[in-house]
Amino acid sequence: MEPLLTKLQSQLAELPVSVSLVLPGQRRLGPADAAVRLEFHDWSGVATLAAGQIGKVGEDYVEQRLNIEGSMRDVMTAAAAVLPGTPVASDTSWWTQMLRRAKSLASHTQQKDAEQIRFHYDVSDDFYALWLDPRRVYSCAYYREADMDVAQAQEAKLDHICRKLMLHPGERFLDIGAGWGGLLLWAAEHYGVNATGITLSNNQHAYVNRLIEQKGLQSRVKMLLLDYRDLPEDQSFDKIASVGMFEHVGQAQMANYFSKIHRLLAPGGLVMNHGITAGSLEPGQLGAGMGDFIGKYIFPGGELLHPSLVLRELAVGGLEMVDTENLRPHYARTLWAWSDALESRLDEAHAVLKKSHGESGAGRVLRAYRLYLAGCAMSFERGWIALHQILATRPDGNMNTGSLRGAQSVYPFTRDYIYR
């Protein structure tokens, strides 16, 4: 045991923030007035920390085998420092990749996708409302101006997407994975489109339909409880957006996903795919137990691909990438805004979750989300994961479509129109 404690003492001395450990039996390592305090209830958690398995340390916290005190920003600074190396996946063996693909195939049937989506998004609408912006936009914001707050940055993001898609009144617009309706309603109200949104979340479906009725938009906007694979293809859409959804599609289904979008999109039309991408060139999840933690408590079935692999699958699906933008640090700032908002309302969050999850369940969910939001903010800051907006077209084969010969779509092949 003493060699383990010696190792921990050495690690504590090198951390960028002060950390104290209260060991089983109440022995303390580190200063009493440390910024971060970890209290262990058994020795297995101490060994997990020494090994740098921060995802497992997080699991111990969620399951109350460990108590953590201190700001989430300080906790994550310490967590990053105890990692033995980068958590970006590095196992590229053919056997590992084959197993991952098989697991992906099994994890993304329509029934399992519906269950996995509802596990996350149907936690509690009131809980999400405590720390999201008033529009409940649950995806990366766009800080066009440095002094924007998260609500302003979310509106900037919604408009950024609509501008990229060149939305015009009367166009048929599809939002795949429409969440609580932020983009769907922004596009309808500000750009005059006829908008259709889909979700697998019962809560989101009911919430958005109430908003549509309240705003009197029933003639132009509809929200469906539907899997993207079940969308009828008898009518095409001029423009399509998928925001924060394709992380749930799975590697094994990615080519089919883009092929489906190709069939839904009118020739010459535009699609915006906005989603989290991996830092690793090969499919995998974050190491040090971080990916396992996310899969168990937050996003079961979630899978991230490197943008190079996303572009390959997009091309296999018959689409042409015309613009790609990395918003990675924007998502770090967004997540810290969400984390700070939740941290400021912990008592309210527990009371809200208690209504749907009971006393013990409320604490478990709240502890998991505290680590999830702050941990993801840290991961985006450090480049372990990223956020890419990929704009693509379905070329129509007509050399005279568009402002430049050979464009074969409405895309002007300049960026000026986005920023005017």
Q: For the chain, what are the domain ranges?
A: 2-82, 101-419
- Tell me which residue has tokens 């300080």: 74
CATH H-level superfamily of 2-82: SCP2 sterol-binding domain (3.30.1050.10)
Helix (H) or strand (E) holding 79: helix 72-82
DSSP helix/strand/coil, 43: helix
Q: Identify the band that residue 90 occupies on the pLDDT scale cut at 50, 70 and 90.
A: low
Query: Is a pLDDT exceeding 90 seen at residue 192?
Result: yes
Second-level CATH architecture of 101-419 = 3-Layer(aba) Sandwich (3.40)
Q: Who wins on pLDDT, 109 or 256?
A: 256
Predicted pLDDT of residue 399? 97
Helix (H) or strand (E) holding 227: none
CA separation, residue 204 to residues 100, 174, 309 (Å): 30, 16, 30
Given the residues 35, 376, 377, 410, select the one marked as catalytic. Answer: 376
Q: Is 294 exposed, middle or buried (0-12, 13-18, 19+ CB in 10 A)?
A: buried
Buried residues in 190-212 as b, exposed as e (16+ CB within 10 A) = ebebbbbbbbbbebbbebbbebb
Q: Who wins on pLDDT, 240 or 82?
A: 240
Distance, CA of 205 to CA of 272 (rounded, Å): 22
pLDDT tens for each residue of 132-170: 999 999 999 999 999 999 999 999 999 999 999 999 999
**Mean pLDDT over residues 188-208, rounded?**
97
Question: What's the number of CA atoms in the CB half-sphere (13 Å) around residue 379?
Answer: 27
pLDDT tens for each residue of 36-55: 999 999 888 888 888 888 88
Q: Is 376 a catalytic residue?
A: yes
DSSP helix/strand/coil, 22: strand
pTM for the model stands at 0.92
Q: Who wins on pLDDT, 223 or 4?
A: 223
